[in-house]
Structure 1
């Protein structure tokens, strides 16, 4: 799962509980966070984010109030063999337990750097088409540069369910799809039925993105919108939100 948390220490216990419950309820084995906004990564409350079970962590600090990355994972699921990190990325490379496959996970924040099987996931701060922003906007040269990066790196994407956009500003007037999970062609060939789902953004301006290589049953696709998110507003408004989320989940599965 990847999430721009907009401050790992912001909004205190409530946000930490939200992230931890997302991880636990969705059985997340790798959690990638962006914008910790903490200069010293040692003060990031990893145990509060992950929970009581055993985990391994890597992190880089923020530059002022911008950036900051962290990765937490279950060592029983991923046998880490190599870690590379810098200001805008963390590379975790290792063997997926139970599979004869080495996988490279790259957690990025606003990076255009190109780096077996590999996954780039995080907040890219760029869209691939102008329609990924509302109101429709974007610099043609920046969009072309981002798409050229994806093409040159040989990356592909799964259709995203759950939400159309992954970021919304505080007053709800601007939306964009700037958080992504990109995989190489070998990974896509190995897990063609993988899925990406944008979850409700309860305590951040970004939606968490849940990535799974397991084939989703129709029952699970229907149950998720009804069991996620915090009720707010009228019953009619909550029902409309859940139906909209269900629509995008079904479209994400190609149903």
Structure 2
């Protein structure tokens, strides 16, 4: 499942919906979190501009006047919503990713610029984290940084907002993605976090891809006739017997299939070499028989060999 988040600074701006659709197409996004729609009543006709022609589901929180406003959109074929929690500063969606058993909780955050209000929001989210179980991912505009190196051209508040923010992260058992640890990252080890250049907003879009945008594994063709050949069953058994230490059932199954495919490939290379050797010998014998046929009559045995 691939996620995208952007502070759009006004959903009605020229070119903004087109830019988001471009991200949707380029990165294969299944979930898009938008902050600062700045609409006190965001109409559905504008919401639909931010998605392509495929089926889409969404939840919105209207802005307080011209301040804030949130929009979460997703593909229901990939993520199925089961419940939601709405606040002026966040949208929490709980559901399941297709093919996964554990619940996924996605929180689209637009934190207040007022430190007191941010602290209250962290406390609310912490209570929700303790009561709603599953894999959590928080994305959006937190209006806060964790460390001095993340603050540019402004003063770092070491004893206030940053402390509350870091305490919330630790208390909730969350991990910043680029730290490279945690259960979420272990589940999708090939995931990547991209920071894109500013375009239609003064905020950089973030893209979290947990799946590769391709057409899946290259198909491996197996002919029914192979199953009757000597060595086929043994190759399959060797693949099945190869170990896999993953704790995830779908990953273990995928690795088993790959191991079987690798063993069958090796077996076919060996078998093909033998078949080509036999074919070369047969062609050589036929050439000899055809040469003999030019000077004499062939025996029944030679005719049978030539026809066979």
Note the alpha carbon deviations across 1:131-161, whole angstroms, 9 max, x for none: 112125221121111111111111002229x
Aligned to 1:59: 60
* Alpha-carbon distance in structure 2 between the residues aligned to 1:91 and 1:41: 18
The answer to whether residue 217 in structure 2 is matched with residue 198 in structure 1 is no
Q: 1:94 to 1:207 in 2, by over 3 A?
A: same
* Alpha-carbon distance in structure 1 between the residues aligned to 2:213 and 2:11: 30
Aligned to 2:167: 148
Aligned to 2:22: 21
1 or 2 for the larger relative contact order (CA 8 Å, sep ≥6)? 1
* Alpha-carbon distance in structure 1 between the residues aligned to 2:177 and 2:94: 21
Higher helix share: 2
C-alpha RMSD over aligned residues: 2.2
Number of residue pairs matched?
193
Instruction: Report the alpha carbon displacement of residue 185 of structure 1 after superposing the two structures with TM.
Output: 3.8
Match for residue 158 of structure 1 among 160, 170, 177: 177
Q: 1:37 to 1:44 in 2, by over 3 A?
A: farther
Instruction: Report the alpha carbon displacement of residue 41 of structure 1 after superposing the two structures with TM.
Output: 2.7
The answer to whether residue 20 in structure 2 is matched with residue 2 in structure 1 is no
Q: 1:138 to 1:216 in 2, by over 3 A?
A: farther
Match for residue 205 of structure 2 among 203, 208, 217: 208
Note the alpha carbon deviations across 1:165-209, whole angstroms, 9 max, x for none: xxxxxxxxxxxxxxxxxx994323322332211112110011111
Contact 2:30 2:75 survives alignment (8 Å): yes
Note the alpha carbon deviations across 1:32-66, whole angstroms, 9 max, x for none: 00000111133561211002111001000011221
Instruction: Report the alpha carbon displacement of residue 74 of structure 1 after superposing the two structures with TM.
Output: 0.4
Contact 1:34 1:123 survives alignment (8 Å): yes
Instruction: Report the alpha carbon displacement of residue 25 of structure 1 after superposing the two structures with TM.
Output: 1.4
Q: 1:202 to 1:210 in 2, by over 3 A?
A: same
Contact 1:130 1:136 survives alignment (8 Å): no
* Alpha-carbon distance in structure 1 between the residues aligned to 2:48 and 2:85: 22
* Secondary structure of the structure 2 residue equivalent to 1:155: coil
Aligned to 2:262: none
Q: Which runs of 5+ in 1 are unaligned?
A: 161-182, 218-255
Q: Which moved more, 1:134-143 or 1:124-133?
A: 134-143
Q: Which moved more, 1:122-131 or 1:37-46?
A: 37-46
Instruction: Report the alpha carbon displacement of residue 22 of structure 1 after superposing the two structures with TM.
Output: 1.1
Q: 1:84 to 1:23 in 2, by over 3 A?
A: same
The answer to whether residue 145 in structure 2 is matched with residue 127 in structure 1 is yes
The answer to whether residue 140 in structure 2 is matched with residue 118 in structure 1 is no
Q: 1:216 to 1:150 in 2, by over 3 A?
A: farther
Contact 1:119 1:184 survives alignment (8 Å): no
Instruction: Report the alpha carbon displacement of residue 216 of structure 1 after superposing the two structures with TM.
Output: 9.4
Note the alpha carbon deviations across 1:204-250, whole angstroms, 9 max, x for none: 01111101113699xxxxxxxxxxxxxxxxxxxxxxxxxxxxxxxxx
Contact 2:62 2:69 survives alignment (8 Å): yes
* Alpha-carbon distance in structure 2 between the residues aligned to 1:64 and 1:152: 33
Higher strand share: 1
* Secondary structure of the structure 2 residue equivalent to 1:150: helix
User: TM-score, normalization: structure 2?
Assistant: 0.59
Q: Which runs of 5+ in 2 are unaligned?
A: 112-120, 129-133, 215-308
